[in-house]
Amino acid sequence: MKQVELDGFDRKILHHLQQDGRISNQQLAERVGLSPAACWRRVRALEEQGAIAGYSALLNPEVMGQALSVFVLVSLQRHNLDSTEEFERQVLAYTEVLQCFAVTGNADFVLRVVVPDMRSYDRFLNEKIFTLQGIAQVHSNFALREIKNTQHLPL
C-alpha cells in the first residue's frame, strides 16, 4: 500500500480522530481550523486513501468478562508456505485471538489472546491451538497488569 502524504491539517485531523472517533465534523473542523466542508472532504480523502482504516468502540476487557490477557508464542515444525498459510487461516477464525504477528526470533508467531479465566485459556489451548497441524512449541506469557495499550500512531 502506498504511503500517504500528510500536511499539517491532515495530521491534526488524524490526531483528533484518534483521540475521539465520534467527534462531530463541526467540532473537528473547529479544532483543526478548517471550514466544516473542507474538513469533511479531507476526512473522506483520508478514508479513501486508506490512512483511516475504520472506526470502532474500545471495550473494557474486565467489564466484558475477558480479563485474562495472554501473549502466546507459537513455533511451527516446518517453515513452508502451506503450513504457514494453514496456521494463519485457522487463527483468523479464533475470536479469542485479538492480534497475530509473524515474527523473527524464538517463535514464528505471537498471538494476543483474551479469555475470561485460566480454565478458558486451557480450553482454548486444548481445543484450538493444540489441534492445529505442525505446531512444534507453544509458550504462554500472562499479562500481570496493563501499563500501556494504544492503537494511536505517532503523528
- Amino acid letter, 50: G
Architecture of domain 68-142: 2-Layer Sandwich (3.30)
Asked if pLDDT for residue 151 goes beyond 80, the answer is: yes
**Residue 98 CA neighbour count, 13 Å, CB half:** 14
Average pLDDT estimate for 99-115 = 97
User: What confidence score (pLDDT) does residue 51 get?
Assistant: 97
Q: What's the sign of the alpha-carbon dihedral 93, 99, 103, 107?
A: negative
Asked if pLDDT for residue 143 goes beyond 80, the answer is: yes
Asked if pLDDT for residue 83 goes beyond 90, the answer is: no
Residue boundaries of the structural domains of the chain: 8-48, 68-142
User: What confidence score (pLDDT) does residue 41 get?
Assistant: 98
Average pLDDT estimate for 85-99 = 96
Tell me the pLDDT band of 30, cut-offs 50, 70 and 90.
very high
How far apart, in Å, do the first and last CA atoms of the chain sit?
A: 18
Average pLDDT estimate for 16-30 = 97
**Nearest CA among 97, 71, 79, 91 for reference residue 132:** 91
Rounded to 10°, the helix 36-48/25-32 angle is 100
Tell me the pLDDT band of 34, cut-offs 50, 70 and 90.
very high
- Name the average pLDDT for the chain: 96
What element of type H or E holds 71? strand 68-76
Average pLDDT estimate for 69-73 = 98
User: What confidence score (pLDDT) does residue 81 get?
Assistant: 81
68-142 has the same fold as 8-48: no
CA distance 138 to 102: 14
Percentage above 90 pLDDT, the chain: 94
Task: Specify the CATH number for 8-48; select among 1.10.10.10, 1.10.10.60, 1.10.3720.10, 3.30.428.10.
Answer: 1.10.10.10
Asked if pLDDT for residue 1 goes beyond 80, the answer is: no
Task: Specify the length of the chain in residues.
Answer: 155
**CB-based contact 142:70 (threshold 8 Å):** yes
The full DSSP string for 103-145 is -SSS-SEEEEEEESSHHHHHHHIIIIITTSTTEEEEEEEE-S-
